[in-house]
Amino acid sequence: MSADAHAIVTSRMFAAARTRVWAAFCDPVVLAGWWGPAGFTNTFHEFDFRPGGVWRFTMHGPDGAAYPMDHRFSEIVAPEQFVVRHLQPGHDFTLTVTLADCAGATGITWRMLFDDPAEAARVRPFVVPANEQNLDRLETHLSGQPPAVR
């Protein structure tokens, strides 16, 4: 089985400096405001943005469902990349977010590497559009526009 079977990758270019994009990930208040697919909100319980730090939060779906999340940061190289481990039995993956400086703009690569390729295949149909929505929300934040009300 190839590494690609384990991975879901999303990329986008933002018309914002890399330091500005990086800052949107570092501040838990800012991050909670845009993180997640369209219609989701977040309650952050713990956010320690450093290697070994914990990121625990609850995502609230537009249908009222609550999704508890447990993450551990394993690597942070400001303002280039961070790696976070998503801990959920049967749905374990490592997320690597890489920011590339592109002459004043920023290229982002969002790579989810699942432990189990079958799980990657199972969630791919909804994770791919959800990741795009997440990046749409980041783009809205970076543009200074108010978030869309759904």
End-to-end CA distance of the chain: 40
Report residue 24 as tokens.
């949107």
Neighbours of 100 (CB within 10 A): 14
CATH number of 3-143: 3.30.530.20
**Domain map (residue ranges) of the chain:** 3-143
Neighbours of 124 (CB within 10 A): 15
pTM of the model: 0.92
pLDDT tens per residue, range 51-93: 999 999 999 999 999 999 999 999 999 999 999 999 998 899 9
DSSP-assigned letter for residue 39: T
1 pLDDT tier (thresholds 50, 70, 90): very low
Return mean pLDDT, the chain: 94
pLDDT tens per residue, range 83-127: 999 999 889 999 999 999 999 999 999 999 999 999 999 999 999
pLDDT tens per residue, range 5-47: 999 999 999 999 999 999 999 999 999 999 999 999 999 999 9
> For residues 38 and 5, what is the distance between their CA atoms, to the nearest angstrom?
26
In this predicted structure, the answer to whether residue 150 has a pLDDT above a threshold of 50 is no
Burial of residue 134, with CB atoms counted within 10 A of its CB: 0-12 exposed, 13-18 middle, 19 or more buried: buried
- E strands present in the chain: 7-14, 41-47, 54-60, 66-77, 81-86, 93-102, 105-114
| Residue 95, helix vs strand vs coil | strand
